[in-house]
């Protein structure tokens, strides 16, 4: 049941990856389809979903705390399919932008609620791997989007690129009809009998009652802490929120989205002669992203979150500097591709999966939905900034300068992770919560 839960819920991550990256190939055809005449118009078309994701992730925390993680994911699956169809059938730019905005709202909800749901369903010893299944699904969605784009590049059928998201949307909707609600959310809502049944259904066996007692105990500690003042007035919780928001900005400003969204466009300037050739080359990036994420799943509960983050940031500094140097020196073609592939390796081994995992781990049960919502809003806000400024930034700094800038940002991310990010490996959600609450009592 735990494995089935992870596979079905992670379909939300697959839709997240597919719908954010399918635009990378489709954008090459949108200019003619909607008569776009400037970089600003193209950035708006690419970034419309990101604006929606900010709205969706802002609402998702309240909705998942109010109605439950399961029902929110179920509704999101239906909405994904509806607005993906509307995007593909759009015949005016306005309709396209509205449809993509609401697809983005679904992405925002899925990006927050999917890892939250998986974390609350998982035992401590497997949580890293199971929550990281969401990141694997995201990277798989990106890869599928690249292959769909490549398959349709010859015909230029950008409408089918968007409509194809209906299939995984149906899987998410039907699957969530059959899955249980988060036992931790049920306990938070005062439904202890249902929470115990949920833990037992997830295969906890004799551990179910002890796990529920631990959840109840930490909920009482939260209430006692809140009675002494706002939970956000505690030092530990402020640091936890800072870690989440900091990772949100640093992941998005790491350069990943300029690679994912604009890979074909970058590769064309690096020497690829046609849209089709650039899109096919982009599939190598998507495939490596998936393979390294699988490797990360095997390592994340062994080496730990903090180690992988530090290793990841150091590698991204080096690889982005190399890509910047390649453009600076006028080197084109394969060296640029190798640099981008090396960057993807370092991102996918650490910063990619670990950020979403930490979001789902570091916040207290009572406010986990709201706190994750705040952090996820900052993810999409940062994503929106990068997506809507890359082409303009590229013109202002040149390609070399732009990649050098992102390398410098990753250096800052490395120092941030060394200084502030804690290790959560092999700790229950309740143990992690006690760490922050006790740190708060010391303030």
Q: Where are the domains of the chain?
A: 2-441
Question: Which two structure tokens, joined as six digits, stand for 55?
Answer: 């709205």
* pLDDT value at residue 240: 83
pLDDT of residue 89: 92
Q: Enumerate residue ranges in the chain where pLDDT < 70.
A: 222-234, 260-279, 281, 332-333, 437, 439-443
Judge whether 403 and 327 are in contact, CB under 8 Å. yes
Q: Say if CB 166 and CB 85 are below 8 A apart.
A: yes
Let me know: does 288 contact 341? Beta carbons within 8 Å: yes
Q: Are 387 and 261 in contact (CB under 8 A)?
A: yes
Could you tell me the CATH superfamily of domain 2-441?
A: MFS general substrate transporter like domains (1.20.1250.20)
Structure confidence by residue, pLDDT tens digits, 12-27: 989 988 988 888 778 7
The tokens for 282 are 């982009």
Cα–Cα distance for residue pair 194/301, rounded to 1 Å: 29
CA 389 to each of CA 97, 193, 330, 381, 385: distance values in angstroms, whole numbers, following the listed order: 18, 51, 23, 12, 6
- Rounded to the nearest integer, the mean pLDDT of the chain is 84
> What was the pLDDT predicted at 443?
45
Q: How far is CA 203 from CA 27, 69, 109, 210, 425, in A?
A: 46, 20, 28, 13, 21
Q: What's the pLDDT score for residue 231?
A: 53
**Sign, Cα dihedral of 411, 129, 139, 179:** negative
pLDDT given at position 77: 94
How many other CB atoms sit within 10 Å of the CB of residue 174? 14
The pLDDT tens digits of the residues spanning 53-109 come to 889 999 998 899 899 999 999 999 999 999 999 999 998 889 999 999 999 999 999
- Nearest Cα residue to 250 out of 299, 319, 310: 310
Which residue do the tokens 């700790």 mark?
A: 427
Buried b or exposed e, range 33-61, using 16+ CB within 10 angstroms: bbebeeeeebbbbbbbbbbbbbbbbbbbb
Q: What is the pLDDT of residue 268?
A: 65
pLDDT of residue 415: 96
The rounded distance, in Å, linking the Cα atoms of 29 and 337 is 23
Nearest to 142 by CA among 262, 25, 20, 264: 20
CA distance linking residue 59 with residue 74, whole number of Å: 15
Q: For residue range 134-174, list pLDDT tens digits in order.
A: 888 988 988 888 888 888 877 888 899 999 999 999 999 99
Structure tokens at 288: 């490596």
The pLDDT value given to residue 147: 84
């Amino acid at each position: 049941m735990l494995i089935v839960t992870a596979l079905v819920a992670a379909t939300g991550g697959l839709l997240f990856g597919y719908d954010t990256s399918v635009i990378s190939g489709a954008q090459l055809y949108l200019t003619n389809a909607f008569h776009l005449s400037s970089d600003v118009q193209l950035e708006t078309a690419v970034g419309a979903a990101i604006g929606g994701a900010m709205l969706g992730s802002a609402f998702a925390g309240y909705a998942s705390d109010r109605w439950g993680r399961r029902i929110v994911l179920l509704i999101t699956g239906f909405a994904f399919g509806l607005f993906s169809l509307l995007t593909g059938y759009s015949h005016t730019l306005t309709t396209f932008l509205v449809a993509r905005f609401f697809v983005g709202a679904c992405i925002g909800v899925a990006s927050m609620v999917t890892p939250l749901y998986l974390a609350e369903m998982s035992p401590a010893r497997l949580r890293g791997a199971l929550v990281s299944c969401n990141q694997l699904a995201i990277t798989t969605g990106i890869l599928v989007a690249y292959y769909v784009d490549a398959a349709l590049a010859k015909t230029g059928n950008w409408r089918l690129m968007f409509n194809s998201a209906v299939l995984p949307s149906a899987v998410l909707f039907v699957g969530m009809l059959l899955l249980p609600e988060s036992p931790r959310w049920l306990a938070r809502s005062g439904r202890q009998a249902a929470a115990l049944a949920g833990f037992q259904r997830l295969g906890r066996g004799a551990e179910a009652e002890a796990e529920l007692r631990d959840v109840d105990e930490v909920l009482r500690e939260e209430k006692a802490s809140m009675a002494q003042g706002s939970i956000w007035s505690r030092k530990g919780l402020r640091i936890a929120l800072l870690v989440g928001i900091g990772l949100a900005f640093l992941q998005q400003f790491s350069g990943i989205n300029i690679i994912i969204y604009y890979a074909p466009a970058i590769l064309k300037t690096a020497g690829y002669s046609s849209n089709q050739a650039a899109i096919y080359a982009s599939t190598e990036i998507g495939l490596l992203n998936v393979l390294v994420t699988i490797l990360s799943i095997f390592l994340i509960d062994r080496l730990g979150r903090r180690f992988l983050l530090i290793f990841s940031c150091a590698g991204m500094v080096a690889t982005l500097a190399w890509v910047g140097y390649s453009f600076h020196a006028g080197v084109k073609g394969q060296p640029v591709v190798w640099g981008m592939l090396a960057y993807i390796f370092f991102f996918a081994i650490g910063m990619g999966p670990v950020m979403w995992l930490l979001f789902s781990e570091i916040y207290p049960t009572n406010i986990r939905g709201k706190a994750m919502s705040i952090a996820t809003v900052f993810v999409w806000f940062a994503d929106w900034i990068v997506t809507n400024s890359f082409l303009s930034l590229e013109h202002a700094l040149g390609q070399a300068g732009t990649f050098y800038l992102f390398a410098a940002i990753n250096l800052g991310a490395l120092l941030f992770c060394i200084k502030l990010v804690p290790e959560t490996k092999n700790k229950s959600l309740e143990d992690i919560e006690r760490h922050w609450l006790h740190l708060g009592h010391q303030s």
